[in-house]
Amino acid sequence: MSTDFDLVIRHGTLVTAGDTFAADLGIRAGRIAALGRGLTGRETVEADGLYVLPGAIDPHVHLQMEAFTAAGPTVTSDDWATGTRAAACGGTTTVIDFVEPAPGESLAQALAARRAQAEGRAAVDFGLHMTLSRADEATLAEVPALCRAGVTSFKTYTTYAGFKLADDELLRAFRAVGRAGGLALTHAENDALLAAAARDLLEQGRRSPAEFARSRPAAAEAEALERALALAEAAGVPFYAVHISTARGAASLQRARSRGQTAYGETCAQYLWLTDAEYARPGFEAARFVCAPPLRTAADGAALWRALAAGDLQAVGSDHCAFNARGQKDLAFAGADRPLPAFNEIPGGLPGVEARLALIHGGVVKGQIGLNRWVEVCCTGPARLFGLYPRKGSLEPGADADLVLFDPHKRVTLQKRVLHENVDYTPYDGLVLTGWPVATLLRGRVAVREGEWVGGSPNGQFLRRNLQDELFTADP
Amino acid sequence: MSTDFDLVIRHGTLVTAGDTFAADLGIRAGRIAALGRGLTGRETVEADGLYVLPGAIDPHVHLQMEAFTAAGPTVTSDDWATGTRAAACGGTTTVIDFVEPAPGESLAQALAARRAQAEGRAAVDFGLHMTLSRADEATLAEVPALCRAGVTSFKTYTTYAGFKLADDELLRAFRAVGRAGGLALTHAENDALLAAAARDLLEQGRRSPAEFARSRPAAAEAEALERALALAEAAGVPFYAVHISTARGAASLQRARSRGQTAYGETCAQYLWLTDAEYARPGFEAARFVCAPPLRTAADGAALWRALAAGDLQAVGSDHCAFNARGQKDLAFAGADRPLPAFNEIPGGLPGVEARLALIHGGVVKGQIGLNRWVEVCCTGPARLFGLYPRKGSLEPGADADLVLFDPHKRVTLQKRVLHENVDYTPYDGLVLTGWPVATLLRGRVAVREGEWVGGSPNGQFLRRNLQDELFTADP
Amino acid sequence: MSTDFDLVIRHGTLVTAGDTFAADLGIRAGRIAALGRGLTGRETVEADGLYVLPGAIDPHVHLQMEAFTAAGPTVTSDDWATGTRAAACGGTTTVIDFVEPAPGESLAQALAARRAQAEGRAAVDFGLHMTLSRADEATLAEVPALCRAGVTSFKTYTTYAGFKLADDELLRAFRAVGRAGGLALTHAENDALLAAAARDLLEQGRRSPAEFARSRPAAAEAEALERALALAEAAGVPFYAVHISTARGAASLQRARSRGQTAYGETCAQYLWLTDAEYARPGFEAARFVCAPPLRTAADGAALWRALAAGDLQAVGSDHCAFNARGQKDLAFAGADRPLPAFNEIPGGLPGVEARLALIHGGVVKGQIGLNRWVEVCCTGPARLFGLYPRKGSLEPGADADLVLFDPHKRVTLQKRVLHENVDYTPYDGLVLTGWPVATLLRGRVAVREGEWVGGSPNGQFLRRNLQDELFTADP
Amino acid sequence: MSTDFDLVIRHGTLVTAGDTFAADLGIRAGRIAALGRGLTGRETVEADGLYVLPGAIDPHVHLQMEAFTAAGPTVTSDDWATGTRAAACGGTTTVIDFVEPAPGESLAQALAARRAQAEGRAAVDFGLHMTLSRADEATLAEVPALCRAGVTSFKTYTTYAGFKLADDELLRAFRAVGRAGGLALTHAENDALLAAAARDLLEQGRRSPAEFARSRPAAAEAEALERALALAEAAGVPFYAVHISTARGAASLQRARSRGQTAYGETCAQYLWLTDAEYARPGFEAARFVCAPPLRTAADGAALWRALAAGDLQAVGSDHCAFNARGQKDLAFAGADRPLPAFNEIPGGLPGVEARLALIHGGVVKGQIGLNRWVEVCCTGPARLFGLYPRKGSLEPGADADLVLFDPHKRVTLQKRVLHENVDYTPYDGLVLTGWPVATLLRGRVAVREGEWVGGSPNGQFLRRNLQDELFTADP
């Protein structure tokens, strides 16, 4: 084979969702051009002793997201520039974020504005889920056009003022998405249960973040997940549950799949590695772990690892939603003498886009999941489920040469200073991981090397994603 | 890229366990050398409109198998030559058969004899599972050497005189296999339940094949599967249940996997497409459907399709074990005036090695499983589970160029004359399938074209299979 | 023992929820005064060869219920007089009906009006559930007073305009009931799913009663039941699901109980004996089987019998709600030339108060449940769950002498003319049952003998029922 | 009512499996003669503020049982005299013990010998289960005669040399018992798993009692229970699992019952109150907790409480099998200089016959089960399941006047000196219970008062128990 490749990654161990094999990988014009042995090219990257993976896909991030707090609006500390750069440093080469239309704004307008915000700033390619926070006829009439524009997944909520859809609205939305060939996502927590639990605690004067897990009980997730599954079943729409956090939720999903429903489940690294014990931290420190759903019991975490391994959950996202512990979580941006917020006033969300791939590899090290399953749930599964195939998430010729070189033996102690996320803490502080990305390629160019961004100006592109048609649903 | 490929398959839709994408596939020296676009080579096969799959792997066949009947010994009608040629015609490029050591024969001797029998006759590459029909120290001491010789999976039985292992024997065998890094297979039916059910029927004078399903109740499978799973769990050995035929069996396996056990399940095409209604056929015709476990209810079949789709079962085999309806099933080889055998004297087994791949594609057509899942359960899953990765079951460079060109629109009515199996009937007689293989390549050479063998002399090789180590267990 | 009993039932086989034993039963002043051998009294009833049971309790009837149809209001054909007399003829000595407050009417007012309607007309004692069709503060503030007045169970709906409560309303209602020590009942079907299914059918012009089962899918019951269970769990209120009709619903309840929740489930005779095959009847005849939830599959029925036997369901009601086939189901009361109503305009409900006890005994005959379990689910369970202990549902001294003499060998062919219900058909027409009540005693007096009312003027009393406190919740 | 009772218990709260009610209870000739109000008799016992229960039935005790240890034979420290007196002090008025035929001894002979041993010594009435430690034709031919003699339950083992039956033997035994109308009991632990676990530990030199739980893994119970259930299902015999100790075992039983199988499960007080944390006690102290199956995790215990409450388990036994900590558990009877025994040489079994009733009442106090359910699982359930109805386990007229007066508010700290068991320790040492029996009546006579035996000479009778026929199976 001639030396007509732009770049060849040599001697690596290629790891995909299905295979682990030794091969060189030839890149031309930003794409994987060939997999073979003894390839040569104008440039060469030596990968002996390293895994070569398809770049990880984070299906669930919130960058530069406006949040409306009791103390006024704020915005997540990681914007499109910093958040995607951190993603790339962690081996994530595609993120899928959300469009959240304002009242009165059409979906198309909101999409255009969100794309404009990201383009020229995003360091990695990105897709966008559309949030359906209303289900009127005019809004749902836009769904097919959005699908044609490459926004093929639609997020709904069962809670949060301004977002929550009632059952009939959910069903209408699901049917519209199903007819258009899209995928329905749901944040599933029962709103009434959350409201009552919070109210009860506050009435007892229990307002510290230590109460947070109690304010969002596991039954709320279980209930809303059963509901969303039943509505999606009736609507005939493929369904994806974001951030499943409990054993009970995972069991609901498993039962639905065993009944034959097309349904998928995501969990997040924080539900696998952290527990509600964090809320016992002294003072306001527990606020760093406030996210919805909350951290759960150790038994929940163990069950989630098993569900990932057994195929009962299909993807891991980060739900990256970074707010600084000082200045944001404490609502200090609203003035120094504002009292500390109650548990339900703290901006919710954890950072995690950078460490996700390595955290899940930690499960491989501990024997909780297999090596190829790791790639499946972090890279290939999300790509497939969200219509990025065959361009992303695979090492096939024609695929974008988004790649990670991952050193399975490198030991890293997680702490703020080794991460590139623009936020003043990491919830994994002090955790020692074995295995860390050492280089990331974006469409054929080395963009990160040894934790340093070397990719020049940001060049992330908006990704038009495919529909859930037969060819690409491909049961994960 | 230069024209240095021996053969290029152009314009096909490559379908793997994970991906569906358009690419050319370049072959050199019998192996997949590259996947890319615009490849050229000395020869070209046009695959426009066709799927290009990794050759199917049948993990469960019985070719040229001696059976000891009440009327004396017989041998399955398909031998290594005819059976593997039929396999190739159906798109199966690797079969895994069994070694069954005779009393007094060492495992090594039995392996050598079985290999010698196949080599020079097998049209496709083949692996061998070792049958452990005893668990004495000397026998188990051979396990590591067998693993080194590439026989890395070991079948045990919970029933059949001469095969059945008691619990302590099973446990010893499982531990030996686990220590050696192998995979434990079990035919799981409770022997005492089978014996009692058969005895009861015979005592009532009910001896016709119409009684067959009643003679092997579903509870027998459920019980033995629970037992084998528990023993494998205790032994710490990866476990593979052959031919799961019931909803209850699939549920047992699912629960084990949800508990975190490394356990896999195979079903067979006959349990997905046929039901116990076949045993109501008039006269001795029901004998054609005598196989163990028996055909089950329609509800069982529906549950098995769901389990395949949901990831709760991981592989489909054929359990091809062909006996002629006339001359063998009726024991007529023992003389014309021998009375027709009782249900439990009929040589058990169905043919099916040829239609397996197309039968499971039928589930794709009916929307029961996805396209990539079809490749997973017929090709990639078996290859991975049985240590043939990365050589078989994938389209990765370096993999053997064992390939199927599959026309998803070709309609075929199954009947004896369209099949190449050396047996006088097909249990699927009259079934109309959409989708059929139109060409099969074996290590880079077109061996079957439009149902005709054009591959010259048989050249199947014995495959040394890998162990269940971390790299290759890769949760399927 | 002296002859100081008013009445002695001699030589019967006393059957209770726990026991089956030979004893005489002495009655004094309308109550069971003693159980013993050789009792004598002023009067004697000979019960040799008969079962003597506590009078059956029907926890779920709708007598003299106003229904608002598309063609205007109508009222169930059985009023307090006819319905309770039919109940008595079938061995049911207590019914629990519902109060349904009108808009603007207080719960207390509605209760008073409903009591007034029944008193002097009801032939058997009766309790009343309160329907909570709103959950405003003023309404819920009435709950404790109602409990004190003996109305200790509160029914909510997840569907039906004018009845449906939203999640936060359900939760508030459940909490109010829980705090007051009551029991929360829910009719669980997801309203949005029902609405969409009906709309879809109607849009396709499919309006005949043959469509009825399709208009209320099983998933609607499953979803709403999961929801009500989760809300009740959070509210800490004992929960009772009325008319569970599906295997999936029964499984939800079983899982809740296994998690430790205080939750009970009722099914009805029609879901045990009839299936959705009835909707295939020609012409408008299917309308006779229109009830909500609808009749289900045979597999559902089999699962419900198993759940009753295994203790996973705790009670059987009739949901008696009789409308004449001619004149009501067809809306003919609105005029002769009104077109036949669509499936969702047909007044819903089946008669069944009279045959319930014998129908469930049919399960004893067929070996589906045990003899004592029959008494538990028809008599004792409902009494205990609804706070009628120890006065009703038992044969203990001090209990009201409400008794049934049941001939286990009497064969009856169900048909309109053997029943006393005031309605022009029976859904069980032609069914042959073995076992039928031959006499019914109400507070010590023989009120029915061989199917004839001999009890004189109606004398049913309103029953003040107990709370769900520790002593009487007594896990059934 | 005249004063013709021998004894009247006045003003008590009668608590049965179904009811809680205020009544007097009249006794004549050792039997309950009447339940009523205002009864008078020659003697009176005042029970104001006390519960009056049917005497508890302990379905699982081992009194005066020979055990064959590594150091020679020994016998349980409680013999028929001391053990039954302790039982009576704890409110247990009937025990069911076991006959264990010696090799060569017929079942009839063994029964006669065992009866002879007990009669004249037993303080309470007693039944006997027959142990089937072999399943040859002659032995099984004795089953019907035993049933006629009142021994209607038959225990089998899946482990222990001299007891273990193979599958075909179990099936034969189950069929023989089923045909005779009896009940099949099984001690379910997989023998091969136990043997291997013990051997592994011993080979590593780990022989202390701290290893005991590890030597009998939960999977061994789960496996053997699934097996016994499947064999019983096939045999069509009612099945009773003794001493279920794990959540997994309880779930197996629940699934069988949901499938419609006639199967019951017992757990024991020690699995509800104690955990495997006891094995961490220093030195040889852990030996006091050696019993089979072993104590399990706290999560198992919580699941067992839930299963009891939900009706998924039906009875609580004590499995009382007392060996002195000093002199027996340590094998010191074999000589002072014998080394301490390995974990698998320690005589297995815990004392518990006396505190069982109060321990389970502890679950009522903690809200884990209801008051009537307590009576069901300790008194009525065992009586019904084992064919003692209507004579035992009930407060019906005609029933034996075996009664307990139980003070629900009396606080007792469990310790050796408050108990009457003839053994030098209690595993519940220091546990504080609320609720304790204050008097026990045996066939109408006060035999225990305030913890003192006042019953004179022992007068326990052998009980002929009924078969599992329709009348009495009565789903519990």
Which pLDDT tens digit goes with each residue over A109-138? 999 999 999 999 999 999 999 999 999 999
- Burial (0-12, 13-18, 19+ Cβ within 10 Å), D117: middle
Query: What's the pLDDT at A299?
Result: 94
A469 touching chain B per CB within 8 A: no
DSSP state of C436: E
- Mean pLDDT taken over chain C: 94
Beta bridge partners of B69: B72
CA distances from A47 to A433, A440, D195 (A): 21, 12, 49
Report, as an integer, the average pLDDT of A291-301. Answer: 97
Question: Which residues of D fall within a CB distance of 8 Å from C256?
Answer: none
Map chain D to HEC letters.
CCCCEEEEEEEEEEECCCCEEEEEEEEECCEEEEEECCCCEEEEEECCCCEEEECEEECCECCCCEEEECCEEEECCCCHHHHHHHHHHCCEEEEEEEECCCCCCCHHHHHHHHHHHHCCCCCCEEEEEEECCCCCHHHHHCHHHHHHCCCCEEEEECCCCCCECCHHHHHHHHHHHHHHCCEEEEECCCHHHHHHHHHHHHHCCCCCHHHCHHHCCHHHHHHHHHHHHHHHHHHCCCEEECCCCCHHHHHHHHHHHHCCCCEEEEEEHHHHHCCHHHHHCCHHHHHHHCCCCCCCCHHHHHHHHHHHHHCCCCEEECCECCCCHHHHHCCHHHCCCCCCCCCCCCCCCECCCCCHHHHHHHHHHCCCCCHHHHHHHHHHHHHHHCCCCCCCCCCCCCCECCEEEEEEEEEEECCHHHCCCCCCCCCCCCCEEEEEEEEEEECCEEEEECCEECCCCCCCCECCCCCCCHHHHCCC
Query: What's the pLDDT at C18?
Result: 76
Query: What's the pLDDT at A471?
Result: 39
- Structural tokens at position B309: 């789709």
Question: Which residues of B fall within a CB distance of 8 Å from A254?
Answer: 254, 258, 310
CA-based max dimension of chain D: 75
| Banded model confidence at residue D468, pLDDT cuts 50, 70, 90 | confident
How many angstroms separate the first and last alpha carbons of chain C? 34
Alpha helices in C132-240 (DSSP H): 137-141, 143-148, 167-180, 191-203, 218-235
Residue type, position C460, single letter: G
Write out the DSSP string of B87-152.
HHHTTEEEEEEEE-PPTT--HHHHHHHHHHHHTTT-SSEEEEEEE-S---HHHHHTHHHHHHTT--
Question: Worst-scoring range by mean pLDDT, A165-174, D106-115, D330-339?
Answer: D330-339
- Burial (0-12, 13-18, 19+ Cβ within 10 Å), D432: exposed
Map C399-432 to HEC letters.
CECCEEEEEEEEEEECCHHHCCCCCCCCCCCCCE
Q: CA-to-CA distance for C144 and C177, rounded, in angstroms?
A: 8
Query: What's the pLDDT at B397?
Result: 84
D193 touching chain B per CB within 8 A: yes
Q: Is C193 helix (H, G, I), strand (E, B) or coil?
A: helix
pLDDT over 70 percentage in chain A: 98
Query: Are A351 and A76 a contacting pair, CB within 8 Å?
Result: no
CA distances from D390 to B394, C10, C13, C369, D136 (A): 70, 18, 11, 20, 34
Query: What's the pLDDT at B34?
Result: 84
Question: Which residues of C fall within a CB distance of 8 Å from A219?
Answer: 230, 233-234
Query: What's the pLDDT at A3?
Result: 54
Q: Which of A226, A229, A255 to mutate to test the interface with C (most CBs of C within 10 A)?
A: A226
Q: CA-to-CA distance for A250 and A299, rounded, in angstroms?
A: 12
Q: What is the helix (H) or strand (E) element at residue A316, kind and residue range?
A: strand A315-317
Question: B touches which chains (3+ CB pairs under 8 A)?
Answer: A, D
Answer whether residue C8 shows pLDDT above 70: yes
Nearest to D257 by CA among D240, D272, D242: D240
Nearest to D123 by CA among D96, D94, D98, D155: D94
Question: Which residues of C fall within a CB distance of 8 Å from A231?
Answer: 190, 192-193, 223
Question: Which residues of D fall within a CB distance of 8 Å from C366?
Answer: none
pLDDT over 70 percentage in chain D: 98
Q: pLDDT tens for residues D402-443? A: 999 999 999 999 999 999 999 999 999 999 999 999 999 999
B119 touching chain D per CB within 8 A: no
Angle among Cα C97, C173, A295 to the nearest 5 degrees reads 135
Nearest to C353 by CA among C27, C62, C40: C62
pLDDT over 90 percentage in chain B: 88
Report the residue from A309, A394, A475 with minimal CB separation from B475. Answer: A309
**B167–D222 CB contact, under 8 Å:** no
Q: CA-to-CA distance for B401 and B21, rounded, in angstroms?
A: 18
Q: CA-to-CA distance for C190 and C157, rounded, in angstroms?
A: 10
Nearest to B303 by CA among B275, B339, B264: B275
| Banded model confidence at residue A201, pLDDT cuts 50, 70, 90 | very high
Query: Across the 476 residues of chain B, what is the mean pLDDT of every consecutive 10-residue run?
Result: 80 87 90 86 96 98 95 96 98 98 96 97 98 97 97 97 96 97 97 97 96 96 97 96 97 92 96 97 96 97 94 96 96 86 96 98 93 94 91 90 97 97 98 98 97 95 86 34
Report, as an integer, the average pLDDT of A367-380. Answer: 93
Query: Are B56 and B378 a contacting pair, CB within 8 Å?
Result: yes
Report, as an integer, the average pLDDT of A455-476. Answer: 74
Q: CA-to-CA distance for C269 and C107, rounded, in angstroms?
A: 30
Answer whether residue A474 shows pLDDT above 50: no
Phi, psi of A294 (to 5 degrees): -75, 170
Query: Are B39 and B8 a contacting pair, CB within 8 Å?
Result: yes
C216 touching chain A per CB within 8 A: no
Query: What's the pLDDT at A275?
Result: 97
**A311–B311 CB contact, under 8 Å:** yes
Report the residue from A1, A17, A471 with minimal CB separation from B18. Answer: A17
Beta bridge partners of D97: D128
Q: CA-to-CA distance for D111 and B298, rounded, in angstroms?
A: 50
Q: pLDDT tens for residues A130-160? A: 999 999 999 999 999 999 999 999 999 999 9
**D175–B196 CB contact, under 8 Å:** yes
Residue positions counted in chain D: 476
Q: CA-to-CA distance for C8 and C26, rounded, in angstroms?
A: 5
**A310–B398 CB contact, under 8 Å:** no
Residues 241-260 of A with CB under 8 A from B: 254, 257-260
Q: CA-to-CA distance for B246 and B298, rounded, in angstroms?
A: 10
Query: What's the pLDDT at C218?
Result: 95
Nearest to D35 by CA among C16, A297, A71, B428: C16
Q: What is the helix (H) or strand (E) element at residue C360, kind and residue range?
A: helix C356-365
Query: What's the pLDDT at C471?
Result: 39
Report the residue from D171, D196, D222 with minimal CB separation from B193. Answer: D171
Is the bond into B144 cis (omega within 30 degrees of 0)? no
Query: What's the pLDDT at D38?
Result: 83
CA distances from A96 to A59, A84, A375 (A): 5, 11, 17
Tell how strand D432-442 and strand D445-449 pair up: antiparallel
CA distances from B391 to A252, B422, B466, C377, D207 (A): 38, 29, 10, 63, 48
Q: CA-to-CA distance for C370 and D315, rounded, in angstroms?
A: 18
ipTM above 0.85, yes or no: yes
Q: How far is CA A88 from the centre of its chain?
A: 14
Question: Which residues of D fall within a CB distance of 8 Å from B166?
Answer: 166, 192
Angle between helix axes D167-180 and D218-235 (nearest 10 degrees) is 50
Q: What is the helix (H) or strand (E) element at residue A83, kind and residue range?
A: helix A80-89
Q: Domain B56-373 - what CATH class? A: alpha beta
Query: What's the pLDDT at D472?
Result: 39
Report, as an integer, the average pLDDT of C353-370. Answer: 95
Query: Are A316 and A358 a contacting pair, CB within 8 Å?
Result: no
Nearest to D139 by CA among D115, D167, D104: D104
Q: How far is CA C451 from the centre of its chain?
A: 21
Query: What's the pLDDT at A158?
Result: 97
Q: CA-to-CA distance for C385 and C377, rounded, in angstroms?
A: 10
Query: What's the pLDDT at D3?
Result: 54
A434 touching chain B per CB within 8 A: no
CA distances from A224 to A220, A265, A275 (A): 6, 14, 22
DSSP state of A70: T
**A396–B14 CB contact, under 8 Å:** yes
Q: Which of D170, D226, D237 to mutate to test the interface with B (most CBs of B within 10 A)?
A: D226
Classify the phi-psi angles of C204: left when phi > 0, otherwise alpha if psi is within -120 to 50, otherwise beta.
alpha
Q: pLDDT tens for residues B224-236? A: 999 999 999 999 9
Q: CA-to-CA distance for B341 and A287, rounded, in angstroms?
A: 76
- Mean pLDDT taken over chain D: 94
Q: CA-to-CA distance for D171 and D256, rounded, in angstroms?
A: 17
Distance from B391 to chain A by nearest Cα, in Å?
Answer: 9
Question: Which residues of A fall within a CB distance of 8 Å from B16?
Answer: 18, 396
- Burial (0-12, 13-18, 19+ Cβ within 10 Å), C242: buried
